[in-house]
């Protein structure tokens, strides 16, 4: 019966590692852009909506306060009175004017007048801050949408790796292929052996990473991934599998992580 092992990296490429006991959580806020990009979609959309809604509400409240403090709301319908914003008759209209200002919709019904210097200053501040919010939030959404997670779904690895003779040399082999017609440029591949080990001094190293040579010396790790390719690791004196028998290979607890890197030709 095959043992169910806890994987270091799942089959879909997600790292099965959770960070615990992180005390310096403020470091996530110092790089807020990457933090927002790494959030789950539901949280990213929530922050996206709140960023705009709270900005509109905040400036809408200020527009209403200006109109209230100037007495514009007390002179509604008075054609001899010049308000700060024409046709602003309450908080709802102030909120709508805030949306129109920040999104540059400009319906033309509510418009600022030139007799309100505080309104002109507020208009400049909202235009500048609105541009910053747009650049930041749209940038986050664009980076999140363009992440290569979905592109990796069309990169297919063989379900099993095999150990067999190839040109009279014992090799560990697996196959990789790309399903799309858009090629991956500068594709390279490398492999890591994840296994706990104990040093000669008695130190125990959990999840130690060892490189498996897949052609770095000869350049075979640089792939021209047009058709499916067989990646081969020669088991020689430099290989960590050199002293491992077949029976020990079946009993040992280890994991091989294969990393394929490259750039998508279209994007």
**pLDDT tens column, 192-244:** 999 888 888 988 998 899 999 998 888 889 999 889 999 999 999 999 999 88
Q: β-strands 184-198, 204-212: how paired?
A: antiparallel
Question: Which residues, listed in sequence order, are joined to residue 212 by a DSSP beta bridge?
Answer: 191
Answer for the pair 206, 199: CB distance below 8 angstroms, yes or no.
Answer: no
Based on the fold, state whether residues 35 and 119 are members of the same structural domain: yes
Tokens of 156: 């297919």
CATH code (residue 88): 1.10.287.70
Residue given tokens 């997670």 in the structure block = 149
Lowest mean pLDDT across 1-5, 16-20, 26-30, 141-145: 1-5
- Per mean pLDDT, which of 14-28, 40-54, 247-261 is the most reliable? 40-54
SS3 at position 153: helix
Q: β-strands 255-264, 184-198: how paired?
A: antiparallel
- CA separation (Å) from 168 to 119, 163, 164, 165, 171? 83, 12, 9, 6, 9
What is the mean pLDDT of the segment spanning 28-47? 88
The runs of H, that is alpha helices, within 71-154 are 91-102, 117-145
Answer for the pair 52, 133: CB distance below 8 angstroms, yes or no.
Answer: yes
250 belongs to a structural domain: yes
Domain with 181 in it: 151-264
Q: Among the three residues 146, 171, 193, which one is the final residue of a domain in this structure?
A: 146
Based on the fold, state whether residues 33 and 129 are members of the same structural domain: yes
Based on the fold, state whether residues 62 and 119 are members of the same structural domain: yes
Question: Which residues, listed in sequence order, are joined to residue 229 by a DSSP beta bridge?
Answer: 176
What is the mean pLDDT of the segment spanning 111-128? 93
Does the global pTM surpass 0.85? no
- Quick one: pLDDT at residue 3? 59
Specify burial of residue 120 (Cβ count, 10 A radius: 0-12, 13-18, 19+). Answer: middle
């Amino acid at each position: 019966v095959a043992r169910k092992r806890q994987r270091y990296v799942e089959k879909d490429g997600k790292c099965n590692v959770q960070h615990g006991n992180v005390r310096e959580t403020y470091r996530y806020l110092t790089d807020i852009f990457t933090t927002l990009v790494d959030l789950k979609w539901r949280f990213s959309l929530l922050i996206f909506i709140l960023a705009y809604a709270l900005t509109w509400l905040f400036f809408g409240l200020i527009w209403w306060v200006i109109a209230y403090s100037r007495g514009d709301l007390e002179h509604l319908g008075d054609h001899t009175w010049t308000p700060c914003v024409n046709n602003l008759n309450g908080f709802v209209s102030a909120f709508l004017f805030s949306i129109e200002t920040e999104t540059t919709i400009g319906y033309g019904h509510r418009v600022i007048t030139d007799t309100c210097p505080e309104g002109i200053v507020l208009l400049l501040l909202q235009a500048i801050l609105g541009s910053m919010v747009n650049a930041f939030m749209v940038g986050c959404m664009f980076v999140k949408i363009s992440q290569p997670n979905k592109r990796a779904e069309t990169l297919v690895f063989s379900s099993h790796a095999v150990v067999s003779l190839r040109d009279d040399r014992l090799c560990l082999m697996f196959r990789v292929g790309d399903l799309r017609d858009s090629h991956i440029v500068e594709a390279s591949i490398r492999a890591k052996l994840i296994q706990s080990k104990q040093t000669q001094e008695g130190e125990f190293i959990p999840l130690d990473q060892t490189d498996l040579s897949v052609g770095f010396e000869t350049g075979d790790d640089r792939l021209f991934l047009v058709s499916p390719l067989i990646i081969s690791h020669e088991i020689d004196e430099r290989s960590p599998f050199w002293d491992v028998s077949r029976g020990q290979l079946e009993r040992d607890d280890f994991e091989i992580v294969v990393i394929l890197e490259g750039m998508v030709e279209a994007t």
